[in-house]
Structure 1
């Protein structure tokens, strides 16, 4: 759509007929005007406080879809359901890209929970040796905002990082220290991209066979445009006939014309492992965008 174009408003009660190529950008409402005026894209929420979702009067109300419900969602499936619900067309997602900054993951996160009227349990008081400190808890680290920004989207099936900016010294390191200490994690305790952009994709279906009820893992190393690397991995259990399937969001073959020109991607092939078997798998961008099957050949 032409950013400076003039469009006729639809008749009362009708929705605007957006072209199929149009998409939204999910971020916190603070950044909606920047996304529109600088990025020339359609934000899902803006400082007019449209598109925030959540609740207004009571915790008993239905949690309306919007940016607050997306970023506080406790699973990828719940977050994706919000994206799908944001668009008035049930066959389309409300956003293709998600933008997060470290402020959303730290100081601004409480505001997201406040808009849902459900603020309990994201932070808890812990004894740290000489005093009690109020620190992020399991519920915080399960949130979509944490999964994306703090954990780099590791393990997510349909969200991939496509760009990050340079890093600043922020509270991110403290959050990662808490994650490693309280949840037994092993993520690097360093500051990473101040702003991170993710893309919502169908994801390629990596399928294969192993022994029945076998633990199967898939992993790769992601290299960002800032020269930083991080691990991406999933694990599953094969069924009674040995079949397994992973949905993965990253292409190993790079971008294609007319689609996202990402600078963050796997540094090599995916590695599928089970028992004493290890196999490399390469995934095309077309398979990621169309949700195509990629069969593992052993």
Structure 2
């Protein structure tokens, strides 16, 4: 198993007029990623096998196993015939959380919910977002127009989500892609942590719907503004409001839906 993000396969292409021809189609890779902390198995995610160190760092922040004030995780990535094993070491003062959040079954992405055993664990209080976005609507429309050029995996396969760090002027600064929308955002947040990149008055742009788990990841990363291409769920809007996180949803080339205190828009 290598770290490539795509492969190819032959298909028969059928047309409405009865025609058939053979084509070669690029396919996004999706493999099991087993995450271990301090030698103990914790979760198995299905993910694109790239930027695994970023994924583990972001996932650990989303799981509240570490905080932004903690040292960066040391992650060893091992490719096997069955998938990927990512071994991380938590700081000694963060190991107690492992017992509360250990997973007993595989999840289909790093959603932060699969395997949780009670409602109190599923809906935990979120920190209040302390940062502010300086972006205006022109910056959001500019980033939306530019995002496609930063999605090589999706361009090749049509099967990958993107999460982008966007500057206050709408310039896309950093992007991560994955078959899972949760994974893509974890990879972005993890990459920001590992590179020492901050929001700096910008925002996060996601090529997905706005689910409550993505709101939680944004709030835990102190993201000042979350922009998603598709619609939010009601729970997502409620959790965002509780965390003071402004949302822009159904962000398309001709209109945006705004909810929350983003006065510059």
Whether TM-score is above 0.5 comes out as no
Q: TM-score, normalised by structure 2?
A: 0.26
Structure with greater helix percent: 2
Higher Rg? 1
